[in-house]
Amino acid sequence: MSTPRIYLDNAATTPMDAEVVDLMAETMRQCYGNPSSIHFLGRETRILIEKARKTMAALLGCAPSELFFTSGGTESDNMICRYLVEQGEVQRIISSKLEHHAITHTLENLAHLRGIRVDWVKHDSRGVLDLEDLESLLAQDQGSSHRTLVTLMHGNNELGNLLDIARVSALCQSYQAFFHSDTVQTVGHVPLNLQELGIHSISGSAHKFYGPKGVGFIYLRGGHSWGPLIQGGSQERNMRGGTENLAGIVGMARALEKAIHSMDERRARMVSLRERLRRGLVEVIPDLDFNGDWSGSCLPHILSLSFPPHPKGEMLLINLDIEGVCASGGSACSSGAQSRSHVMEALGMHPDRTAVRFSLGSKNTEEEMDQVVQILQKIWHQA
Ligand SMILES: Cc1ncc(COP(=O)(O)O)c(C=O)c1O
């Protein structure tokens, strides 16, 4: 029997939708003008970019002028935090130790280089943020001449936990704080209406919703142009110099359209597949735990497991890989490495336990869930 290939690393990246690939290939073949050129080939590509912006804005519930295209989630997160500090808008930032490194490393850097004060919101052992603690941190600012930036992710990439961003947004509004949310894991997966949420900014990345890698966006309420962070041309209303990634932008808009239209049906499938996998694993692995708020408010496609101490614990991901199963041990950037992730560290996971994240996608099947259970049973009991 040949080794199966089971892809359960969709939170790291998703396989591209075939129709999006075709659309991008066609765009690259046919539309090569520089969107800043005034001739008709340039105007044609400019129209495609603005059409993509309009499509995405309608899907996200915002104005086209509030969306800025970037190279992905990391750039978008960096851009927002750095901008606010560079513009002298904020001198204090509130965040969480459970954020992606695109945020935590940026904040550590801003604290080091710019003397920004960073406060971390408390969380419990499931990684659920303490919103009372957030409120008491916000209350410390009253009377300050500077605004505080609150940056808290919507869906945690390692745990799947979902934050009540409407509640955080309302809290930030009552303390006049700027609220940014890294929504890289939730755009295209969870309903988002930016107009209703009243949030100031979000970041998104196309490769997390079956689109291309290397393209993403920022939503910025009111669509301010703060002046360029990347110096050069006046692209993206002077926010980000550089010739636009035309095919990427066109592909991202189409991928978002498809992801949002299939969201409800996909969600129901993910919930059922994830539960099948979870129940199957509980039956074959003794003392298995699940990380995060998996039975509460969470993304339907992420299941983070905590395996008990075992001779094969250290090599679990490699053994899964040998058996044809792609999973992650930490966040995407450290996948493959069995080093403990900063999130598991912050949750205080016992050092002898091993964390594995399975993240499901639209192509997974019930048979695959059953196969993964069998494979893990074999690895576990063969030691
Ligand atoms: C929550 C979160 N934020 C940011 C990023 C970075 O996105 P990108 O890969 O587009 O730079 C990721 C990618 O794993 C993520 O999961």
To the query of whether residue 298 is one of the catalytic residues in this protein, the response is: no
Mean pLDDT for 173-188 is 97
CA distance 6 to 230: 40
Mean pLDDT for 20-46 is 97
- CA separation (Å) from 374 to 64, 325, 329? 48, 12, 19
What pLDDT sits at residue 2? 63
pLDDT beyond 70 at 335: no
What pLDDT sits at residue 332? 43
Percent helix, percent strand, percent coil in the chain, to nearest 5: 45, 15, 40
Q: Which of the pair, 88 or 181, is modelled with greater confidence? A: 181
**Which H or E element spans position 226?**
none
Q: pTM for this one?
A: 0.95
Nearest residue (by CA) to ligand 1, atom 4, is 73
CA distance 85 to 118: 12
Place of tokens 């990380």: 291
* Active-site choice (31, 298, 326, 333): 333
- CA separation (Å) from 257 to 56, 60, 206, 248, 250? 8, 10, 11, 14, 11
What pLDDT sits at residue 339? 63
Choose among 90, 301, 299, 72: nearest CA to 204.
72
Contact 149, 180 (CB under 8 A): yes
Nearest residue (by CA) to ligand 1, atom 5, is 73
Centroid of ligand 1 to alpha carbon of 205 (angstroms): 7
CA distance 123 to 239: 35
Cβ count near 176 (within 10 Å): 12
State percent of the chain over pLDDT 90. Answer: 86
CA distance 310 to 101: 29
Nearest residue (by CA) to ligand 1, atom 16, is 157
φ, ψ at 178 (rounded to 5°): -85, 125
pLDDT range class, residue 199, cuts 50, 70, 90: very high
Choose among 67, 71, 93, 69: nearest CA to 82.
93
CA distance 298 to 128: 10
Centroid of ligand 1 to alpha carbon of 58 (angstroms): 23
What pLDDT sits at residue 361? 97
Contact 79, 229 (CB under 8 A): yes
CA distance 201 to 80: 8
Of the candidate CATH numbers 3.10.450.50, 3.40.190.80, 3.90.230.10, 3.40.640.10, the domain formed by 18-261 belongs to 3.40.640.10
**Candidate of 69, 74, 302 to mutate for ligand 1, largest count of ligand atoms within 8 Å of Cβ:** 74
Instruction: Give the pLDDT confidence of 244-291 residue by residue, as tens digits.
Output: 999 999 999 999 999 999 999 999 999 999 999 999 999 999 999 999
What pLDDT sits at residue 333? 45
Taking CB atoms and a 6 Å cutoff, what residues make up the pocket around ligand 1? Answer: 72-74, 77, 100, 102, 153, 157, 182, 184-185, 205, 216, 331-332
pLDDT range class, residue 311, cuts 50, 70, 90: confident
What pLDDT sits at residue 159? 97
CA distance 336 to 333: 9
Contact 206, 219 (CB under 8 A): no
Centroid of ligand 1 to alpha carbon of 355 (angstroms): 19
Nearest residue (by CA) to ligand 1, atom 9, is 73
What pLDDT sits at residue 338? 52
CA distance 34 to 92: 40
> What residue ranges in 135-230 does DSSP mark as E strands?
147-151, 178-182, 201-205, 216-220
Task: Give the domain ranges of the chain.
Answer: 6-16+263-381, 18-261
Centroid of ligand 1 to alpha carbon of 72 (angstroms): 7
Centroid of ligand 1 to alpha carbon of 333 (angstroms): 9
How confident is the prediction for the chain on average, in pLDDT? 94
Mean pLDDT for 54-58 is 98
What pLDDT sits at residue 337? 45
What pLDDT sits at residue 336? 46
Choose among 244, 242, 245, 240: nearest CA to 82.
240
Contact 191, 37 (CB under 8 A): no
Place of tokens 């692995």: 285
pLDDT beyond 60 at 331: no
pLDDT range class, residue 382, cuts 50, 70, 90: confident
CATH 3.40.50.1100 given to domain 6-16+263-381: no
At 327 the three-state DSSP class reads coil
In single-letter form, the type of residue at position 11 comes to A
Q: Which residues contact 322 (CB under 8 A, 6 or more apart)?
A: none
State percent of the chain over pLDDT 70. Answer: 96
CA distance 279 to 369: 10
